[in-house]
Structure 1
Amino acid sequence: MARPVQDRAEAILTAAREQFLLDGSERTTVDAVAARAGVGKGTVFLYWPTKARLHDAVLQLEAAALLTSLADELRAGATRLSIAHVVRREIAAVLDIPGLAAQRLGEPDGPAGSDDFPGPALHRIVSIMQAHHLVRDTPTAEIVTAFQAVMSGSVLIGLADPERQGVILDAAERLVRSTYDRPDADPADIAAALPKVLDALEDAVDRLVDQAAPDRPTTAVLRPRERPAITPA
């Protein structure tokens, strides 16, 4: 009996992620992905017409999972809502996910539409935090540019010297905190901003998932988990 559409799509993505990790993006073949997924090569091409597009989908879903994890940590109080904490969390996560480093460093083989974070989502998050007096009175574009610069530099150094990652994360967090975070942020303002920030992160996750398989409508459940309801502050 043929697999349901959802199962086939998820099997292909799981197999692709494993194969890209094993052989790298250049040496991985669609034949190898299909064999690992237990489907025909033609089935892979029904969903993702090229290997590059499949690789993009894997990275987009990795990025979606990264943002989902950040949202969950903020929701649970495991990560404090501040630009410095978000920067630290994002740098650490990118260094842990093969392929995302190239995307964050702006290499040409990053997935199409992968600028959702940082990018439009970060602009929205910074604007929310500014409205709630959680960051200093600095233009949003400057803060976003600084975030991207610190992140790119930290990822580049962290990849070159993994043993220094702890020092790099500490330095990046302190730099951003001292420059942009308000040290006197009111806990009530943080609580009021949090649901809006979570909504922005969840919207970014939705966009990344939509971008992962736009070429053919499927019933695949690609989101890392169901989107939680946002409780107004």
Structure 2
Amino acid sequence: MARPAQDRTEVILAAARAQFREAGVDRATVDEIAARAGVGKGTVFLYWPSKTRLHEAVVGLEVARTLASLATGLRRDELRLSLGAIARHEITAGLDHPSTAPLLANQLTSAPALAVAPRRALRRIVDVMRSYDLVRDLDTDDVIAGMEVAMTGALVRALGEPPERPTILTALEHLVSSAYDRLDGPVESVAAAVPEVLEALEDAVDALVAAAAPDRPTTARLRPYERPPAEAPTGARH
């Protein structure tokens, strides 16, 4: 019995993810991915017009998982809300999932939808945190540029020197926090900012998932987890 379109999309993406990791992006072929998924090669091309687009979809879902993990950590109070902690989390994810490294290093210029969603989320997060006096009063573009430079340098260094990763990640967090975070902000401001930060992350997850399989009924099932209901802010802005 033929699988519904939604199931086929998931199966192909899972097969592509596994094949890319095992064989590498350059050596993996659409024939191998189709065979692994149990579908015809034409079915793969029906969903994605090229191997490059399929790889971008896989990377987009990896990044969506990373942002969902960040949201989960903030929601459960397992991660403190600071730009330093966010930078460390994202680079750690890049090291744990090498397929995301080109995006985090800002090299995936051929897939604007994948590059734009995380940057838009970061911009919203910086603006929200500033409104609650949780970051220094600096231009948002300057903050984002500085974070990207620091994160790219940390990623490249950590990829080249695996034994030094803990030291590099700690240095990254300290560098970003000392440059941009206001760590003396009141606890109630942090609690009030978190719901808006979560909304920014969730919107980015939705955009990445939608871009991974456009025009297909996959969004709900391909999301890293079900989006919780929005929570009203519990504090007032300054």
Q: State whether TM-score is above 0.5.
A: yes
**Aligned-residue identity in percent:** 49
The SS at the match of 1:138 is: coil
In the other structure, the counterpart of 2:162 is: 162
What displacement does 1:74 show?
A: 0.3
Deviation at 1:57, TM superposition (A): 0.1
- Evaluate the alpha carbon distance shift between residue 108 and residue 90 of structure 1 in structure 2; reply closer, same or farther with a 3 A threshold: closer
In structure 2, the CA distance between the partners of 1:67 and 1:153, relative to structure 1 (3 Å rule), is same
After superposition, the Cα gap between the structure-2 partners of 1:108 and 1:84, relative to the gap in structure 1 and judged at 3 Å, is: closer
State the shift of 1:6 in Å: 1.6
Q: How much does 1:159 deviate?
A: 0.7
Measure how far apart 1:108 and its partner are. Answer: 4.7
Q: Deviations along 1:23-48, whole A, 9 cap, x unmatched?
A: 11101000000010111111111111
Give structure 2 stretches of 5+ with no counterpart.
none
**Are the counterparts in 2 of residues 125 and 197 from structure 1 also a CA contact under 8 Å?**
yes
Matches within 5 A, 1:91-102: 91-102=91-102
Q: Does 1:218 align with 2:180?
A: no
CA contact (8 A) 1:103 1:111 kept: no
For 1:51, the equivalent position in structure 2 comes to 51
Structure 1, residues 116-158: CA drift from partner, whole Å, max 9, x if none?
3541111110000000000111111111111101110000001
Runs ≥4 residues deviating over 3 A: 108-112
Where does 1:29-44 land on structure 2 (aligned, <5 Å)? 29-44=29-44
Task: From the superposition, tell whether residues 163 and 193 of structure 1 become closer, same or farther in structure 2 (CA, over 3 Å).
Answer: same
Q: Residues of 2 paired with 1:163 and 1:155: CA distance?
A: 13
SS at match of 1:205: helix
RMSD: 1.3
User: Structure 1: how far apart are the matches of 2:58 and 2:108?
Assistant: 16
Aligned residue for 2:172? 172
Describe the shift of the 1:108–1:115 C-alpha distance in structure 2 as closer, same or farther (beyond 3 A): closer
Query: d(CA) in 1 for partners of 2:196 and 2:33?
Result: 39
Query: Does the residue aligned with 1:88 lie in a helix, a strand or coil?
Result: helix
Within-5 A mapping of 1:74-113? 74-108=74-108, 111-113=111-113
Letter in 2 for 1:48: W
Deviation at 1:218, TM superposition (A): 3.2
* Distance across 1 between alignment mates of 2:2 and 2:114: 33
Deviation at 1:94, TM superposition (A): 0.9
Distance in 1 between the 2:118 and 2:137 partners?
Answer: 20
CA contact (8 A) 2:109 2:115 kept: no
TM-score (structure 1 length as normaliser): 0.96
2:133: which partner in 1? 133
In the alignment, is the contact (CA less than 8 A) between 2:15 and 2:33 conserved in 1?
Answer: yes
- Alignment length, in residue pairs? 232
Structure 1, unpaired ranges of 5+: none
TM-score normalised according to structure 2 size: 0.94
TM superposition shift of 1:110 = 5.8
1:141-184 per-position Cα deviation (integer Å, ceiling 9, x unaligned): 11111110111000000111111110000101111111111121
Q: Tell me, in whole angstroms, the C-alpha distance in 1 between the residues paired with 2:33 and 2:112.
A: 21
- Aligned CA distance change for structure 1 residues 141 and 52 (closer, same or farther; 3 Å): same
Q: Distance in 1 between matches of 2:137 and 2:87?
A: 19
